[in-house]
Amino acid sequence: MFDVVSSSKWPTGFLINPNAEPLDPKWLTEFSKIPAAAVSDCLGRNVGGLGLKPFHGSRPMLGSALTVRVRPGDNLMILKAMQMARPGDVLVIDGSADLTRAVFGGIMRAMALKAGIVGVVINGALRDLDEWQTGELPAYAIGGVHRGPSTDGGGEINVPISCAGMLVMPGDLMIGDGDGVVAASRSELPELLIRCHDLLAREQATLAAIEAGTLDPDRFDAILRAKGCPV
């Protein structure tokens, strides 16, 4: 049997770090006007969660990431994270995309609402699906299943995680809507906001040109010709 080195403070497989600094409320105000798809485009179109489905309806989600990594099918550290959560936090959970057990359900939903949590994103499964459809708490997950979790651990809180292929750091801005979920690092928010405004302005100009019938008819042929196509 190989020896597994443990931290002198935490047993192997367990770690709880302090919460990240709260996001400046101005970023929540500014990004509340920007769709997740626009943020994704402005981050290079190769970031954001894949396979995450909204289970709550169409209400958008916006908040600061409180990250949790759990053993597949276990929710002990999620329960602990909810005790640490601040109003405006989004729980972002790496459950290894396990769909055999739900790690979040109706009782935990009530706890999250009471704590002021504004969203739940699960790389895994949730349950009590009818309760989520009221729309009060945005919830994104890979799937749903009736089987419940164990509560044994281990897990880690406020560490970098991978959630449905998306890198999430504690304190990242989480943006979610009907298209899915995107995480944005707080360090890139000033420049990202400018790019998003520019993109949305270009989209509005394109829509106006479509409506007016003035969209350049040679636009796509020019792209094809640049690639050597005889059009």
This prediction has a pTM of: 0.92
Q: What is the pLDDT of residues 84-118, one digit of tens each?
A: 999 999 999 999 999 999 999 999 999 999 999 99
Q: Are residues 150 and 171 in the same domain?
A: yes
Q: What is the pLDDT of residues 184-207, one digit of tens each?
A: 999 999 999 999 999 999 999 999
Domain count, the chain: 2
Q: What is the per-residue pLDDT for 231?
A: 87
Three-class secondary structure of residue 15 per DSSP:
strand
Residue labelled with tokens 């969209």: 215
- 89 labeled binding residue: no
Phi, psi at residue 122, to the nearest 5°? -125, 120
Is the residue at 5 inside a domain? no
Q: What is the per-residue pLDDT for 9?
A: 87
Is the residue at 130 inside a domain? yes
Which segments of 103-188 does DSSP mark as H helices, in order? 106-115, 129-132
Longest Cα–Cα distance in the chain: 72
Q: How confident is residue 217, by pLDDT bands cut at 50, 70 and 90? A: confident
Q: Are residues 148 and 59 in the same domain?
A: yes
| Pairwise CA distance, residues 174 & 35, whole Å | 12
- 49 labeled binding residue: no
Residue labelled with tokens 């995480």: 183
- 106 labeled binding residue: yes
- 128 labeled binding residue: yes
| Pairwise CA distance, residues 120 & 90, whole Å | 6
Show the domain range for 128. Answer: 14-187
